[in-house]
Amino acid sequence: MVRRRAEERVSAEEAQRAAEELREERRRVAEGAMDEMLQRKLQQADNSVGETAKPRGGAARVSLVQHRRDTVQARSTLVDETAEYVGADDGLPTAEMTVAGARRHVKLDSGARYTVAGTDWMQFGDRVTTEAPVDYVEGIGGFLLDVVGVWRFEMTTVFDEVISIDACIVDGCTDEFLIGVDLMRSHGATMDFNSNEVRYSRTGRNVVIPFRTCSTAGGARVAVVRMVRKRQLEGRTVTPVEVSVTAEDGETGIFLPAAYTGAVMLAPTVTKVRNGKAWVPAVNAGGERARLPAKRELGTWIPVDSDVAVLKMSGELRRDRVKAWIDELGGDSETPLEDESEVEVGVDDDDSRSLIVKLLRVYRQLVQDTGDCPPATALSTEHHIDTGGGSPDHAEKAQAGSDRGRGGGDECAQNVGDWRH
Tell whether 308 and 413 lie within a shared domain.
yes
Range of the domain at 186: 18-47+54-210
Give the residue-averaged pLDDT of 58-78: 61
Digit-coded pLDDT (tens) for 3-45: 777 777 778 888 888 989 999 999 999 999 999 988 888 887 7
> How large is the angle between the packed helices 411-420 and 319-328, nearest 10 degrees?
170
Residue 391: pLDDT band with limits 50, 70, 90 = very low
Give the residue-averaged pLDDT of 363-378: 63
Q: Which of 168, 190, 210 is the last residue of a domain?
A: 210
Question: What is the predicted pLDDT for the residue at 378?
Answer: 55
Looking at per-residue pLDDT, the higher value among 71 and 24 belongs to: 24
Residue 18's identity, in one-letter code, is A
First to last CA, the chain: 44
Mean per-residue pLDDT over the chain, rounded: 78
Tell whether 259 and 169 lie within a shared domain.
no
Q: Residue 343 domain-assigned?
A: yes
pLDDT at 386 over 70: no
Q: Where are the alpha helices (DSSP H) in 101-245?
A: 181-187
Give pairs for 339-345: CB < 8 Å, separation 24+: 339/236, 342/236, 343/236, 343/237, 344/234, 344/236, 344/237, 344/238, 345/237, 345/238
Tell whether 177 and 231 lie within a shared domain.
no
Q: Residue 253 domain-assigned?
A: yes
The count of C-alpha atoms lying within 13 angstroms of the C-alpha of 413, restricted to the half-sphere facing its C-beta, is 26
Question: What is the predicted pLDDT for the residue at 404?
Answer: 40
Give pairs for 369-378: CB < 8 Å, separation 24+: 375/286, 377/262, 377/263, 377/285, 377/286
Q: Which of 184, 210, 236 is the last residue of a domain?
A: 210
Digit-coded pLDDT (tens) for 320-345: 888 888 888 777 888 888 778 877 77
Residue 54: pLDDT band with limits 50, 70, 90 = low
pLDDT at 412 over 70: no
Tell whether 131 and 206 lie within a shared domain.
yes
pLDDT at 176 over 90: yes
Tell whether 61 and 125 lie within a shared domain.
yes
Residue 373: pLDDT band with limits 50, 70, 90 = low
Question: What is the predicted pLDDT for the residue at 344?
Answer: 76
Q: Which of 192, 210, 228 is the last residue of a domain?
A: 210
Indicate the burial class of 278 (C-beta count within 10 angstroms; 0-12, 13-18, 19 or more): buried
Tell whether 38 and 158 lie within a shared domain.
yes
CATH value at residue 405: 2.70.40.10
Query: Angle at the Cα of 259 (from 257 to 261), degrees rounded to 5?
Result: 100
The count of C-alpha atoms lying within 13 angstroms of the C-alpha of 251, restricted to the half-sphere facing its C-beta, is 18
Residue 76: pLDDT band with limits 50, 70, 90 = very low
What are the residues facing 163 on neighbouring strands? 155
Looking at per-residue pLDDT, the higher value among 74 and 285 belongs to: 285
Tell whether 236 and 199 lie within a shared domain.
no
Give the residue-averaged pLDDT of 83-97: 79
What are residue 78's phi and psi, to 5 degrees?
A: 60, 45
Tell whether 293 and 401 lie within a shared domain.
yes
Q: Residue 1 domain-assigned?
A: no
Asked if 262 and 233 touch (Cβ cutoff 8 Å), the reply is no
Q: Residue 363 domain-assigned?
A: yes
CATH value at residue 133: 2.40.70.10
Q: Residue 313 domain-assigned?
A: yes
Tell whether 102 and 194 lie within a shared domain.
yes
Q: Domain tally for the chain?
A: 2
Q: Residue 6 domain-assigned?
A: no
Q: CA–CA separation, 287 vs 338, rounded Å?
A: 9
Tell whether 101 and 232 lie within a shared domain.
no
Tell whether 94 and 184 lie within a shared domain.
yes
Q: Residue 268 domain-assigned?
A: yes
Give the residue-averaged pLDDT of 289-308: 84
Which 8-state DSSP code applies to residue 70?
P
Tell whether 192 and 323 lie within a shared domain.
no
Residue 221: pLDDT band with limits 50, 70, 90 = low
Q: Residue 11 domain-assigned?
A: no
